[in-house]
Amino acid sequence: MKHTMRWFGPDDPVSLMDIRQAGCRGVVTALHQIPVGDTWQPAEIKKRQQLVEAGNSGYSPLYWDVVESLPVHEDIKKGRPARRIFIDRYIQSLRNLANSGIRTVCYNFMPVLDWSRTNVSYKLPDGSMTLRYVLADFALFDLYILKRPDAEKDYDQPTREAAYKRWKSATRHELARLTDTILLGLPGTEEKFELAEFQGLLDAYRDVGEAGLRENLYHFLQEAGPAASEAGINLCIHPDDPPRPLLGLPRVVSTASDISRLFSAYPHSSNGLTFCTGSLGVRPDNNLPQMAETFASRIHFVHLRSTLREQNPLDFHEAPHLQGDVDMYAIVKTLKKEEQRRYAEGVQNAEIPMRPDHGFQMLDDLGKTTYPGYSAIGRLKGLAELRGLELAVEKELLFQSQ
């Protein structure tokens, strides 16, 4: 696999030199400064490429390898008439990226919220910090801070009771921190949704529903997919995180069935998947090794991380990369076999880009301000562990082939 690391641009406290020293060959980045729905112009793409490549020499050169993400405008997700304008702009952005030599584009179709946690600095017994999601805390926000109409219907009685107890005992500071965490905006920005406006964003999906969101996703793919295919772009959708409905919002990329239906909607191989083991692994009914085998040929980008479901299986936190509920050995083995198949069949760009997703805040990074989950040392530790596993799998496959 091609080892990459996510970089949020010039304001990222983790530098390109840090990524180069980690031994990565690819950078995963995006033009976060461009408003969602605007076209990515060739000059801006070139500027970012030059920034990534500025320190290149004969030793450990870096290149912009994967776009994560080229965001999909909310009007496309809602199926509004203006979606034609935004799809056309999206297609032009894809063409501009392809003309610049960038061929892998990650995106998601999660409405309003990109991803959700209830704690981005959960302290583990060893003093390191990680990301956590607790259903009762999320319900607390929904029921007593946001006060979403009819929200109580989405939670069972034990969850409602736990949320009420937490709300009654929480301090003003704890409630404010929970609110800020849930209202985090897109990765790569420090913007947050405003609570006063947030319910309106949810209300805009009231008449869309799961069937409507799924139909709008398929429409987007059927429009943008042929242009991506023609340009040689691999589109790879990121699964829902977490993979279940939130705040009354539908989710349509959470299970193997969802992914199968997605590929049937536009069957071309360019319609692919970002195989995020952390997002999909949260659901106990998702058999990740089996999903990796089933969708191997359509996996164009990989996020490797592990999560650990807690006593309440709907609660989870980020675990060390080789622990938790994800069978990382089985998944890496399947991915290496898929790479071997691609090489044998002469597939162009057969190597699958992979990045170590998320990482503990630990050691010298404790106390530093970084994007949640994206401090340097924790990801470096995860990358080192994954590299070791990958090398062992390569040796095993070589031995088996002799």
Residues marked as catalytic: 238, 276, 303, 357-358, 374
**CB-CB contact of 283 with 259 (8 Å):** no
Token pair listed for 142: 């929904």
**CB-CB contact of 354 with 3 (8 Å):** yes
- Cα(22)–Cα(10) distance, integer angstroms: 18
Q: Which residues contact 297 (CB under 8 A, 6 or more apart)?
A: 269, 338, 341
- Cα(358)–Cα(356) distance, integer angstroms: 7
Query: Is omega for the bond preceding 229 within 30 degrees of 0, making it cis?
Result: no
Token pair listed for 324: 């938790």
Q: What is the DSSP track for 20-72?
A: HHTT-SEEEE--TTSPTTS---HHHHHHHHHHHHTT-SSSS--EEEEEE--PP
CA atoms within 13 A on the CB side of 265: 20
Residue 21 pairs with which residues in a beta bridge?
none
Locus of tokens 């924790």: 378
